[in-house]
Structure 1
């Protein structure tokens, strides 16, 4: 029994002799250094990308595109760095990377044949950014979904609707896109007054109010186009206002309120519905009234 215990103790001591502990400690230190250097490298890359894109944005004023391109470059740099770090860590465990990389290549080829939709998504995402079709922060409509672009990834684009829903759309499924953020918007306001009101007086009141109308979203001062429609009951005057992208709804609401107050103060009435009723008398005659 004593001999068996001695043999076990000798085997354990041989297994964990000082040289092995020293080698293990050195490997752990190397792994920690590799991971730390990887994190530092990613931080340097992030700072470099930010500086380059800020410089380019000042020259070309493409802040939308720069913001999107910056996020994409950072993601790619992160993935590549982590992949290299993993390979270096595996090499510290004396793992032969040759067969591993060869197997990964074969696996990647097999996956590529079965993941054509994924490849399509990635290629489409690349061209979305390259052609500057839309960028992070833009309001777009892709198919039946409309909202603000939150993320443009290599595989999918995420947009949030104004009611809070988040839609994740594969890039390959984005066939037609309407971008509401590339150019200024146009607020169109139709003001309807009663038919018997004086058109010239109403136009003067509206023009006077438009000259003093202020809104931070305006790109140009609102303009009265004139009489838009004429019916037997009312007259419609049309106003347009060029404003910043995606602010036309807010500008329209403010214009409606301000113009309503101005017309009320001038005594210009809005059209009221007219109802005509006919009453058949006892003698069969017809009486009319309003």
Structure 2
């Protein structure tokens, strides 16, 4: 009887010790897995921010082989890459912690044979309530994640999102900060952005349109426009900003008052406005030396003399 009692005591003690020990092992294993995941995510983020040596050296060799000077790195592109990588790293770290925490809690519940059905039912009800209440927040967060993954815009880009147009100063998971031309900083919710027009992604285009009078020679004006574009290409400051030759066309619009001519030049991103200002100055000088004048707006006023006007004129006589 005594031996049986001792065996039962040992068995119960071992069972009591095994459950806490297994729980401790599960917690330690979960902490180790989470640490490894966070380290891997942090290393990936650092590699994206800094740029791996192999990728940068390979890209530089390709550019030099093609006769293109890679030059210094663009600070706006670097800031864009940094913010995008850090935001995605934060999302991945939070997701990893959530997944590991749920797995550890599930293992501990299985060890102690907990009945999780009531808890899951309550959590489902609470989740549905929170889902209805926070659906706008969830929509903003999901939209922000997809915008970052798809790289629709970044810091330094000039975008048009409908009612707001300006330079992007910060991109978050919920809010995008846009500074307009007047200096106003707009906070735009990502879930409310239905369309995005990025004016500075990849490359840009400088567009200048001029109107000459109907009595002017369009062929001579086109020749002067080409001279202005060639002078712009030879400029030491503006020339490196051009990516292609100018496209000069005429008769883009025709009326009794004027003929519209157009000049389009492909430029590096976000430099089309500087190129347009320099091109307008060159066109003004070229037209001045070539004797071509711009069309002046004209307005015709029709004056009708009625019976009262005729009577007043008779009385005055």
- The normalised TM-score by structure 1 is 0.60
Equivalent residue number for residue 267 of structure 1: 291
Please tell me whether residue 232 in structure 1 is matched to residue 256 in structure 2. Answer: yes
Equivalent residue number for residue 190 of structure 2: 171
1:246 deviation in Å? 3.3
Q: How many residues align?
A: 219
1:67 deviation in Å? 2.7
Within 2, Cα distance between the matches of 1:268 and 1:187? Answer: 22
Within 2, Cα distance between the matches of 1:201 and 1:142? Answer: 41
Q: Partner of 1:225: helix, strand, or coil?
A: strand
Q: Which of 83, 91, 94 is the equivalent residue of 1:68?
A: 83
Instruction: State the Cα deviation string for residues 237-289 of structure 1 (Å, max 9, x = none).
Output: 22111122333333222211211111111222223456889999xxxxxxxxx
Within 2, Cα distance between the matches of 1:278 and 1:158? Answer: 52
**Equivalent residue runs for 1:37-76 within 5 Å:** 49-55=45-51, 58=56, 66-73=81-88, 75-76=90-91
Q: Partner of 2:173: helix, strand, or coil?
A: coil
Q: Partner of 1:271: helix, strand, or coil?
A: coil
Flag the 1:201–1:74 CA change in 2: closer, same or farther, 3 A. same
Flag the 1:177–1:262 CA change in 2: closer, same or farther, 3 A. same
Equivalent residue number for residue 183 of structure 1: 202
What stretches of structure 1 of length at least 5 have no aligned partner?
Answer: 1-41, 84-101, 281-290
Higher normalized strand content (fraction of residues): 1
Q: Partner of 2:51: helix, strand, or coil?
A: helix
Flag the 1:113–1:224 CA change in 2: closer, same or farther, 3 A. closer
Contact 1:65-1:132 within 8 A present in 2 as well: no
Equivalent residue number for residue 145 of structure 2: 126
Within 2, Cα distance between the matches of 1:156 and 1:277? Answer: 53
Flag the 1:233–1:134 CA change in 2: closer, same or farther, 3 A. closer
